[in-house]
Amino acid sequence: MTDVKKEQEREELHRTIWAIADDLRGSVDGWDFKTYVLGTMFYRYISENLTEYINKGEIEAGNTDFDYARLADEEAEVIRADMVNERGFFILPSELFINVCTKAEKSAEENTLNEIIEAVFRHIEQSAQGTISEAEFSGLFDDYDVNSNKLGATVPKRNQTLVKLLFGIRDMKLGSYQNNTIDAFGDAYEYLMGMYASNAGKSGGEYFTPQEVSELLTQIAVVGRTEINKVYDPACGSGSLLLKSAKILGKDKVIQGFYGQEKNITTYNLCRINMFLHDIEYDKFNIACEDTLIQPQHWDYEPFEVIVSNPPYSIKWEGDDNTTLINDPRFSPAGVLAPKSKADMAFIMHSLTWLASNGTAAIVCFPGIMYRGGAEQKIRKYLVDNNYIDCIIQLPNNLFFGTSIATCILVMKKNKTDNKTLFIDASKEFVKVTNNNKLIEENIKHIVDEFVSRADVEYFARLVDYDEIKEQNYNLSVSTYVEQEDTREKIDIKVLNQQIKEIVAREQVLRKAIDEIIAEIEGEV
């Protein structure tokens, strides 16, 4: 399929999502609407996923007329254990998305649709209990509250809203999840997240990472690799950064899968849904819901070859109020903890600890950590003295929804072959789109090519020796090492002086003419 055809399909999908949003406008607020739409999409996805998997097996066995959606629940029960073992979950035929949709209007008239959906979601989660997939399915539908006033003030109104949601998702042209040319489920997810990110604003320093920033970050982290053992994000949010590795390398080239940790329970649920919607099997991802800095998971796992992250900027954390943290093997090597009011460096030290010896970590950072003094300066000293800093990239401002803040990318490695750090000033690498700046493919390529070449480019990039950074008291601001181009108009002093002389001469001529006119007028009087 051509790129033009794919883009047409994508635009049609986006129009459909917008139409659903428009239809429900006033009934469900934007950020809540996103949760309900994604939950319904996920329900459709796993229903079709399971149905196609079962049908394919039956057709290969010669039962060409078989359709799991038409099977009686009693007959389906005999394969429950096998399906949970193979797919991680189970759904009875009567509880499949398409069958619930078929009876949705009647159920809504009877004011039972909300109860039916609630029961279906509970049964899906329960199907994985006591199995190896339990953690991946537990609580997935917790934020999909069918009895919430957000869906309507009364039960009948809530049921009518649910009918609209079901039918809207039913009518989306998502195609077969296996043969989908545009990754429609995943694309719809990303479109919804971007659609409401600016409305949602920020919470606790957290910002939705635009797709082009995720693209840049991941391309840098996987440079020179055709496959990786696994990818990790210590503040994974909805998981978009993790999934970029699958897009760039191919999901089969992320051998052991996708790992992350997220503190917010709602975002944690969205991340797991995102994995499923991008066709990542339950045994290929491990997302934990804990505070990464205080209760880190994945301690006992093999280190990660690729770490990509956009952790929350300058949030508060326990710091030295917690006397155990200074002895934590993640933080103790630097001899100091990140300030209590600014946890940025704590995320960086955590990521360094989780990084494989041959790995690359690419982290979006608040620029202040590159030049502030105190504990942050001491941590920078540790990182530079031990040759972990590979590159600092200054990004344009106004890239993120809800903030015009300028950001930078910190790249760390443990296997550097020299003791130099590359500084790239990419602050002008953008195009203006509505109220935000945007990295386009050309900008991303320019930055990545420079990251690979490590060549000095006037006003853009410079490879700096360790000794110079030490002389600058471990200041890692890009502007300290890459000269800013003076774009002001240059003035030729000789030309300017001649222009002044001409102006003065002209002034004298005009003055003489005015004096003559005045004298003539006075003579007439």
Spell out the alpha helix ranges (H) of 326-471.
Answer: 344-354, 374-385, 441-453, 466-471
Ordered DSSP codes for 32-61? HHHHHHHHHHHHHHHHHHHHHHHHHHHHHT
What is the predicted pLDDT for the residue at 18?
Answer: 81
Encode pLDDT of 80-122 as tens digits: 999 999 999 999 999 999 999 999 999 999 999 999 999 999 9
Nearest Cα neighbor of 236 from 304, 302, 174 is 304
Contact status, residue 163 vs residue 55, Cβ threshold 8 Å: no
What is the predicted pLDDT for the residue at 487?
Answer: 64
What is the spatial distance between Cα 224 and Cα 451, in angstroms, rounded to a whole number?
Answer: 11
Crossing angle for the helix pair 155-170 and 3-24, to the nearest 10 degrees? 170
What is the predicted pLDDT for the residue at 204?
Answer: 39
What is the predicted pLDDT for the residue at 201?
Answer: 44
Burial class (CB in 10 A: 0-12, 13-18, 19+), 170: middle
Nearest Cα neighbor of 392 from 348, 428, 360, 422 is 422
Instruction: Give the E-state strand segments of 395-476 in sequence order.
Output: 408-413, 420-425, 431-433, 436-438, 461-465
Q: Which CATH class is domain 3-200?
A: mainly alpha
Contact status, residue 34 vs residue 195, Cβ threshold 8 Å: yes
What is the predicted pLDDT for the residue at 490?
Answer: 67
Residues shown for the chain: 525
Contact status, residue 222 vs residue 306, Cβ threshold 8 Å: yes
209 DSSP β-pair partners = none
Q: How far is CA 292 from the centre of its chain?
A: 17
The CATH code of domain 211-481 reads: 3.40.50.150
Which residue has tokens 């471990």?
474
Strand pairing category for 389-394 and 408-413: antiparallel
- Cα dihedral 191, 141, 167, 24, rounded to 10, equals -60
What is the spatial distance between Cα 21 and Cα 29, in angstroms, rounded to a whole number?
Answer: 9
- Count CA atoms within 13 Å of residue 379 on its CB side: 26
Which residue has tokens 């209990």?
129
Q: How far is CA 267 from the centre of its chain?
A: 12
Contact status, residue 357 vs residue 363, Cβ threshold 8 Å: no
Q: Which residues of the chain have pLDDT under 70?
A: 1-3, 25-31, 175-183, 185-186, 193, 195-208, 401-403, 487-490, 523-525
What is the spatial distance between Cα 297 and Cα 444, in angstroms, rounded to a whole number?
Answer: 32
Encode pLDDT of 176-200 as tens digits: 544 444 467 667 777 776 766 655 4
Contact status, residue 362 vs residue 218, Cβ threshold 8 Å: yes
Contact status, residue 305 vs residue 356, Cβ threshold 8 Å: yes
What is the predicted pLDDT for the residue at 488?
Answer: 63
The secondary structure element, H or E, covering residue 392 is: strand 389-394
Contact status, residue 215 vs residue 241, Cβ threshold 8 Å: no
Question: Which residues of the chain form CATH 1.20.1260.30?
Answer: 3-200
What is the spatial distance between Cα 10 and Cα 136, in angstroms, rounded to a whole number?
Answer: 29
Contact status, residue 331 vs residue 319, Cβ threshold 8 Å: no
Please say whether the dihedral angle defined by the alpha carbons of residues 73, 77, 79 and 85, taken in this order, is positive or negative: positive
What is the spatial distance between Cα 64 and Cα 56, in angstroms, rounded to a whole number?
Answer: 9
Question: Which residues of the chain form CATH 3.40.50.150?
Answer: 211-481
DSSP state of 303: P
Enter the pTM of the model: 0.86
Q: Helices then strands (H, E): number in the chain?
A: 19, 11
Which residue has tokens 């903030």?
403
In Å, how far are 283, 299, 309, 366, 377 from 352, measured between CA atoms? Answer: 26, 13, 12, 17, 17
